[in-house]
Amino acid sequence: MFKKILIANRGEIAVRIVRTCAEMGILSVAIFTDPDRFSLHVKRADEAHFIGDDALAGYLDPRRIVDLAREAGCDAIHPGYGFLSENDEFARICHQAGIAFIGPASEVIAGMGNKTHARASMIKAGVPVTPGSEGNLANKQEALTLAEEIGYPIMLKATSGGGGRGIRRCDSADQLDQAWDRVISEATKAFGSADVFMEKCVVDPLHIEVQILADSHGNVIHLFERDCSIQRRNQKLIEVAPSPQLTPEQRTYVGEQAVKAARAVGYENAGTVEFLVRDNEVYFMEMNTRVQVEHTITEEITGVDIVREQIRIAAGMKLTYRQEDIMLHGFAMQFRINAEDPKNDFLPTFGRITRYYAPGGPGVRVDTAIYTGYDIPPYFDSMCLKLVVWAMTWDDVLERGIRALNDMRVQGVKTTAPYYQEILRHPEFRARRFNTGFVPAHPELLNYSEKRHPEGVALAIAAAIAAHAGL
């Protein structure tokens, strides 16, 4: 087993990894740039090393991170999610330096990161994919011709894309003509590649993803699925595990397809196979070669520490579990609490957290790196915490979610929490009838009251009195 792991990330996922390292008796090493000097992951790790003034550059420099890991005496690096987690060059440099990369091999990352290569691999393995281009599109005219053949609407996607970027839905030839240059530009800026491909747009499907684990001894299992259909502009907001909408037969099928996909590409470590489900049709969408933001809810319904399994697999050990050991227990729901103002087109509201109170009680988990007095920097993602609730029944997890969201206090910035309460109260969501079109179909949910909680009013009055007394 490893003795010391460098965490090539920041924020809540870095804190999450630190905790599992501590439970496994492994020393943890944090890295940070200037805006993160006072971040919680820096305080919680056994060691912390400064990697530069620039907010992002240090987190995106694979050679510097690997050199620092060697200097600190680390024998492994955990990339978390985002940043370099799906960077095949980073995985390769780690291997060359004799440091274990806690993730799949660089060749697998490169193959699955290229969406057209991933589609070809799935077709060869017999995993169903949506109709679309066989490879990258050569030019706009080829795109227009193919779109007429497969029928609108279509999705134009960056081959190396991810995280909802480099994607445009086109409902007509005119929209495709207008979107082409925009997608090319966005893909080039975000991913360093101008390659794009096309897929038939599956209208308002369920977005279902299956968590898999695979070791170097030929063992591959799935930990059931998550329903990520509540999203805005391809960005996930609320995730549920398991999906309350799949039949037992569909659940078995997507699990089997995910395992088949992992075996087809020789996958090792934790990964996620994503599908679009419409009626009784299931299509492969992509494979994420890292731990997911929403891995928390899978842990809650299965009892499996996914980060622990990642570390064990990277150390050459066998999976702790067999497929028959994985049992479903109740429902779990994750809310991405973003520092955004839903009423102002979800504009980020970076700034100081003046008061923070974490919710608690049975079935409540919070993964975060914020605290009272913490300044949310404007250089990174706007997510400030993940609130996770669990209960044995669907109705109970809804009520627990409402209660936990109401218990939580994040003051100083606006967050998405009030908006999520409206979603949980909506009759269609409560009746388990939702898909990727739910959020755009219900703009009225943004008409929630911004009336302050009594506690917030009391704090505002106290602040006003203190300010007056100081004059």
Any idea which residues carry the catalytic annotation? 290
422, 446, 369: which is closest to 44 by C-alpha? 369
Which two tokens mark 306?
């996914």
Q: Helix or strand or coil: residue 198?
A: strand
Q: In what order do the strands lie in the sheet with 47-50?
A: 47-50, 27-32, 4-7, 76-78, 100-101
Which two tokens mark 112?
């699955």
Q: Cβ distance 185 to 191 under 8 Å?
A: no
Instruction: Kindly state the DSSP code that residue 409 receives in the 8-state scheme.
Output: E
Q: Which residue has the tokens 């060059």?
A: 89
Which two tokens mark 106?
């660089």
Q: Cβ distance 361 to 404 under 8 Å?
A: yes
Q: Helix or strand or coil: residue 294?
A: coil
239, 286, 412, 438: which is closest to 341 by C-alpha? 412
d(C-alpha 440, C-alpha 446), whole Å: 11
Phi, psi of 309 (to 5 degrees): -65, -35
Q: Helix or strand or coil: residue 130?
A: coil
d(C-alpha 37, C-alpha 78), whole Å: 20
d(C-alpha 225, C-alpha 273), whole Å: 9
d(C-alpha 102, C-alpha 93), whole Å: 13
Q: Helix or strand or coil: residue 280?
A: coil
d(C-alpha 119, C-alpha 36), whole Å: 38
Q: Cβ distance 409 to 355 under 8 Å?
A: yes
Q: Helix or strand or coil: residue 288?
A: strand
